[in-house]
């Protein structure tokens, strides 16, 4: 599961409920960040669009199927450790609101995962095998003005 760049995540960051860096990872021992150092990792929050663009950049020769999985998770430990009293007091209300939000907007979860099923068919402008595709000149000449 990865962090999602959903509306609820953006609001939570603006309100200070969740950090931009994995501060939690270093709170116990002072390490656990970048290369197990004291520098917290940046939390990259994904969108479906970014996942699709990344996969299609690495597998541009086939049509891939991507399945998304959504999950809501409240950072309970972070709330408990917060020195901001209003965060600790607001938690029960937030928990209830999130349950309702989860039912109405399931794709706006703060976490999501994805499964990529690599395509078995080449894009139409390619021909041959998956391991060694070649340009499909017939297709190219039919669709585009070219000197090929």
Q: What is the structure's pLDDT at 122?
A: 96
The closest of 71, 83, 79, 104 to 17, measured between CA atoms, is 79
pTM of the model: 0.72
The ranges assigned to domains in the chain are 2-16+47-117, 121-148
Where residue 17 falls among pLDDT bands split at 50, 70, 90?
confident
Among 115, 76, 110, residue whose Cα is nearest residue 92:
76
């Amino acid at each position: 599961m990865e962090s999602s760049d959903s509306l609820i995540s953006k609001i939570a960051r603006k309100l200070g409920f969740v950090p931009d860096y994995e501060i939690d990872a270093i709170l116990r021992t002072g390490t656990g960040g970048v290369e197990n150092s004291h520098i917290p990792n940046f939390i990259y929050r994904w969108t479906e669009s970014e996942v699709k663009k990344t996969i299609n950049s690495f597998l541009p020769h086939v049509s891939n199927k991507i399945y998304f999985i959504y999950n809501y998770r409240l950072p309970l430990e972070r709330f408990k450790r917060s020195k901001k009293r209003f965060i600790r007091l607001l938690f029960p209300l937030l928990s209830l609101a999130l349950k309702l939000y989860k039912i109405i907007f399931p794709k706006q979860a703060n976490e999501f995962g994805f499964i990529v099923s690599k395509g078995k068919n080449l894009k139409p402008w390619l021909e041959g095998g998956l391991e060694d595709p070649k340009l499909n000149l017939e297709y190219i000449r039919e669709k585009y003005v070219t000197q090929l």
